[in-house]
């Protein structure tokens, strides 16, 4: 499932593939998607992507030109009606991602498509096999999501520590970490890796784990960070160690200054640095040379790793860990392996169950058929009696 690093990599991919590319015409939605139509059409426009936690925003900007494409404006009733810039905010669900292909190579589950004016035409498409993802035209970052754990470190940290009285922190720490109001960008594999590194049992009260961190960041550390408002001004920053320089926002500069290499990591700090490690691995699904996820699998220390334990949390999500689960662990928790065995057994008996169901349906149909036959025979007799 895409988490904060994946969505940020998605935004970098869009900027890398679409930089300098001119798109044209309407934005097209697939017929099967239940997401809203995107009412945007322009002879020439550009696309820029930014990410924040578990959301990606595409900004469609009209590009005025005196070429054959014409200007991105329509004259109506004697007045110039300028095509406005549009923001589309995406949430990836379980299987969303972007692809940039030729029209002939369009992926099967492309539910939102942006076409270039090149020949042959190319398409930026939002692909979502399971259709759990969503987009919102003229959208904004969701208000119920907190600051980004990767690129708004100080704001995110203060947001958590200033709200420890919230009932959300009565829950086990592994479940609190999935609350996007406080940990915007953390998902299933990240919570497992973070708690594993600190040797924290997943099912202990979140408040107990976090209370001691309230005074962890000293005033001196705070003064060393240049606090600036987050803007959309783009600057060149090297975000990986793979020779690729991507365009990101200036918020990353100040947040990197907040992290000192000699500082002992705590839970909130690891929620910030561990996702950045994933980004530094490289493409992870967006680099054609790294589609096999080999580096990412080698990086994992806990999640789905042999020898680790796993149970379902109170929300039904699988939690991977080592050692004691903690006092708040569900009493009837079932490990994925056990559940998979049960599922296989169900599959094994499925044909028999299907045959029984079929036999039952046939047995119920026969009496019904006979009853209808009897009624039909009686109807003429009644009518005949009435005629007499």
Among all residues, which ones are annotated catalytic?
A: 2-3, 54
Q: Which residues of 183-222 are buried (b: 16+ CB within 10 A; e: fewer)?
A: bbbbbbbbbbbbbbeeebbbbbbbbebbeebeebbeeeee
Asked if the peptide bond before residue 120 counts as cis, ω within 30 degrees of 0, the response is yes
Measured distance CA(103)–CA(123) in Å, rounded: 6
Question: In 216-313, where does DSSP find H-type helix?
Answer: 219-223, 251-257, 267-280, 294-299
| Residue-by-residue DSSP string for 46-61 | EEEEEEETTEEEEEEE
Contact 9, 283 (CB under 8 A): yes
CA distance 320 to 180: 20
Q: CB under 8 Å to 63, separation ≥6 — which residues? A: 22, 42, 44, 45, 46, 72
**Residue found under tokens 């990101």:** 248
Least Cα distance to 284 among 275, 293, 297, 276 occurs for: 293
Rounded distance between C-alpha atoms, residue 388 and residue 383, angstroms: 9
- The C-alpha R_g of the chain, in whole angstroms, comes to 28
């Amino acid at each position: 499932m895409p988490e904060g690093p994946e969505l940020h990599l998605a935004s970098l991919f869009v900027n890398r593939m679409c930089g300098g590319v001119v798109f044209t015409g309407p934005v097209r939605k697939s017929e099967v998607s239940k997401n809203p139509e995107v009412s945007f059409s322009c002879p020439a426009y550009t696309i820029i992507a930014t990410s924040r936690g578990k959301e990606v925003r595409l900004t469609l900007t009209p590009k005025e030109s005196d070429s054959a494409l014409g200007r991105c404006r329509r004259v109506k009733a004697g007045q110039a009606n300028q095509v406005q810039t549009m923001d589309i905010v995406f949430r990836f669900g379980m299987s969303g991602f972007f692809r940039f292909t030729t029209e002939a190579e369009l992926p099967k589950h492309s539910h939102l498509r942006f076409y270039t004016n090149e020949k042959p035409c190319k398409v930026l498409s939002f692909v979502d096999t399971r259709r759990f993802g969503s987009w919102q035209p003229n959208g904004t970052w969701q208000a119920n999501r907190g600051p980004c754990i990767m690129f708004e470190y100080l704001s995110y940290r203060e947001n958590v520590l200033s709200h420890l009285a919230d009932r959300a922190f009565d829950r086990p720490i592994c479940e609190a970490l999935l609350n996007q109001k406080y940990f915007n960008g953390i998902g299933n594999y990240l919570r497992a890796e973070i708690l594993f590194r600190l040797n924290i049992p997943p099912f202990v009260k979140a408040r107990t784990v976090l209370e001691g961190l309230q005074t962890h960041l000293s005033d001196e550390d705070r003064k060393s960070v240049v606090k600036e408002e987050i803007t959309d001004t783009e600057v060149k920053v090297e975000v990986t160690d793979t020779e690729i320089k991507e365009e990101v926002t200036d918020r990353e500069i100040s947040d990197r200054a907040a992290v000192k290499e000699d500082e002992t990591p705590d839970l909130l700090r690891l929620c910030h640095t561990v996702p950045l490690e994933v980004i530094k691995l490289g493409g992870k699904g967006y680099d054609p040379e790294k589609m096999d996820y080999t580096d990412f699998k080698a990086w994992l220390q806990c999640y789905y790793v042999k020898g680790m334990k796993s149970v379902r949390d109170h929300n039904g999500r699988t939690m991977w860990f080592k050692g004691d689960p903690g006092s708040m662990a569900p009493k009837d928790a079932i490990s994925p392996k056990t559940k998979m065995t049960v599922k296989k057994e169900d599959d094994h008996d499925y044909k028999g169950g299907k045959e029984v169901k079929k036999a039952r349906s046939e047995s119920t149909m026969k009496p019904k058929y006979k009853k209808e036959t009897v009624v039909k025979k009686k109807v003429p007799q009644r009518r005949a009696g009435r005629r007499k």
